[in-house]
Amino acid sequence: SYVLTQPPSVSVAPGQTARITCGGSDIVKKSVHWYQQRSGQSPVMVVYDDSARPSGIPERFSGSNSDNTATLTISGVEAEDEADYYCQVWDSPTDHLVFGGGTKLTVL
Amino acid sequence: EVRLVESGGGLVKPGGSLRLSCVASGTSFSGFTMTWVRQAPGKGLEWVASISGSSSYISYADSVKGRFTISRDNAQKSVFLQMNSLRVDDTAVYFCSRRADGESYWGQGTLVTVTS
């Protein structure tokens, strides 16, 4: 089965840039979506199709996808960005939706 | 405003059954694939099952295949998850969700607890 690998945790000071990676075999061939889940809340999509931003999502959220790694970048991190972040793809060969294990972003 | 509201969770013994429901409002329904995702306590998101708008395409995670059944009623703007032969490791908050193009909607989740 297809596996997406994320670092368990990332820490960053306010105003700095956070980068959260998502590794997967030939992930560049897939569309990657990113979700933010604050404590006790439902997930919110912050990036879709590798690098597009849904309406209402701040411009500081951006995404990229190359080689075997997709990356969610949060520029100028704010305290409210502290949350768990998940990458997601659709794996066509298995017809399965796949989530990464999640990354806890801590704002110092 | 698009809303997804889940219901049907609760406490059940191993081997038991539950039927979850998710009702959509504020949006068209029949043209969208609907998905169930679960989250065990303190754990990450896990895909459970998806169903296309016409119910012609259905897919399940290996962990639930043969035990869970996803279905929908487009007239009632509802999607269901029939869960049989429940196990302790099925304990989780179950979310229904929809993602299409640049929009994604999730319900608040319903808690399923499987315990003896």
Q: What is the DSSP string of B15-82?
A: T--EEEEEEEESS--TTS-EEEEEE-TT--EEEEEEE-TTS--EEE-TTTTTTEEEEEEGGGTEEEEE
- Closest Cα in chain A to B39: A42
B53 and B32 in contact (C-beta within 8 Å)?
Answer: yes
Residues of B with CB under 8 A from a CB of A: 35, 37, 44-47, 50, 59, 61-62, 95, 97, 99, 101-104, 106-109
- A21's CB contacts (< 8 A; 6+ apart) are A6, A7, A69, A70, A71
Whether A62 has a pLDDT exceeding 90, the answer reads yes
- Residue B88 has a pLDDT of 98
Nearest-CA neighbor of B47 among B34, B56, B29, B57? Answer: B34
Find all residues with CB under 8 Å of B14, minimum gap 6, and list them. Answer: B86, B87, B88, B114, B115, B116
Predicted local distance difference test score (pLDDT) of residue B51: 97
Q: How confident is the model at residue A67 (pLDDT cuts 50, 70, 90)?
A: confident
A7 touches chain B (CB under 8 A): no
Residue A33's DSSP bridge partners are A88
Q: Chain A residues with CB inside 8 Å of B106's CB?
A: 42-44
C-alpha distance from residue A72 to each of A27, A32, A102, B83, B97 (Å): 14, 10, 12, 35, 22
**What is the gyration radius of the CA atoms in chain B, in angstroms?**
13
List CB contacts (< 8 A) between B103 and chain A. Answer: 45, 54-55
Q: For residue B67, what are the contacts with CB-CB under 8 A and spacing of at least 6? A: B83, B84, B85, B86
Is residue A47 within 8 A of residue A34, CB to CB? The reply is yes
A-interface mutation test, from B5, B45, B64, most A Cβ less than 10 A away: B45
CA nearest A102 in B: which residue?
Answer: B44
pLDDT in 10s for each residue of chain B, 116 residues: 899 999 999 999 999 999 999 999 998 899 999 999 999 999 999 999 999 999 999 999 999 999 999 999 999 999 999 999 999 999 999 999 998 888 999 999 999 999 99
Judge: B104–A35 Cβ closer than 8 Å, yes or no: yes
Residue A90: beta bridge partners? Answer: A97
- Residue B101: the pLDDT is 80
